[in-house]
Amino acid sequence: MNKNLLDTIKKLSDVEGFKDVCHQQNENNPMPSVEVLSEIVQLIRAILFPGYFGNAAVNSKTMLYHIGVNVDKLHALLFMQIKAGLCFETTKESVACSEIDRVSKEKASEFVSLLPSIREKLHTDVVAAYNGDPAAKSFGEVIFCYPSIRAISNYRIANALLHLGVPLIPRIITEMAHSETGIDIHPGATIGDYFTIDHGTGVVIGETAIIGKNVKMYQGVTLGAKSFPLDADGNPIKGIARHPRIGNDVVIYSNSTILGTITVGDGAVIGGNIWVDSDVAPGAKLVQRK
């Protein structure tokens, strides 16, 4: 180890240098863990789609045991990650440790009670994917192989956690799916039943987007913000509505971009490679000009 390395170590350890890029977790509190969150998502998939994920030999006689153990593990792991999310955001020492524990346990328990309805919603998404893709051979193939089911599962889990007031964790869960599938759905988006995305790479669905029932989209579709108002300091104002509202039974073909707080009416069809920044009437069919 030469002088150069020793000098660099000193520079990198200088408080002035690292203070803005260093995280100060309160001692003994857990950090969110991508590995554990990935395990959590796998447990949820094993609960929601038994036989496909987790123990493949599960059947109606042993279902109770497997669901019971998976829910037990899920609750324990999720409690810790929710706590980790709350601690990550909390800078003040003032919140009592026991209070965070109680709240985290409650939120984990509430999330578990939402699993039956999440399963129902995902069931509709599987139906939509199968019906909408001539290449799909069976429900099983869709559940087991289709990246869109993985991305929508993570979104529906993350969305439920966000509505329970869990910080950070929802975003990590959707980013995991983003990395695996190229589909980037913000946990804050609102998406109806029977939702399907074909191929999916490059899809972006923004934080305040609202999507109706039975909507289908293809790869590269963006539901984005057109522009966003700045505050007095010239920085974007956080959290206000800035994404499209999509009606029921809408189809959006590949690589089209729909921007701003516009409304796309029920039954509209948006062709591929189109830029849309104003309202689209119900039943309208937009195609790229030649």
Interface of this chain with a second copy, residues 103 to 162, rule: CB under 8 A: 109-110, 112-113, 115-116, 119, 122-123, 126, 131-141, 143-147
Give the C-alpha distances (Å, rounded to integers) separating 15 from 7, 21, 75.
15, 10, 39
Interface region with a second copy, contact rule CB under 8 A, candidates 157-165, 212-220, 260-268: 212-220
- Sole window of 15-23, 155-163, 209-217, 260-268 interacting with a second copy (rule: CB under 8 A): 15-23
Give the residue, chosen from 38, 42, 255, 261, that forms a contact with a second copy under the rule CB under 8 A.
255
List 171, 264, 268, 280, residue binding a second copy (CB under 8 A): 171
Q: Cα–Cα distances in Å, from 263 out to 55, 266, 283?
A: 44, 9, 12
Q: By CB under 8 A, is residue 232 in contact with a second copy? A: no
Indicate which single residue of 93, 94, 232, 235 sits in contact with a second copy (rule: CB under 8 A).
Answer: 235
Distance in Å, CB of 182 to a second copy, minimum: 5
CA distances from 40 to 28, 74, 290 (A): 22, 6, 48
Residue 184 within binding range of a second copy, rule CB under 8 A: yes
Classify residue 185 as exposed, middle or buried by CB count within 10 Å of its CB (0-12, 13-18, 19+): buried
**CA dihedral over 262, 169, 70, 146, signed as positive or negative:** positive
Site for a second copy in 48-77 (CB under 8 A): 48-52, 55-69, 71-73, 75-76
Tokens standing for residue 203: 């899809």
Contact stretch for a second copy (CB under 8 A) within 156-164, 209-217, 248-256, 260-268: 248-256
> Alpha-carbon distance 91 to 207, whole Å?
25
Q: Which residues touch 39 (CB under 8 Å, ≥6 apart)?
A: 77
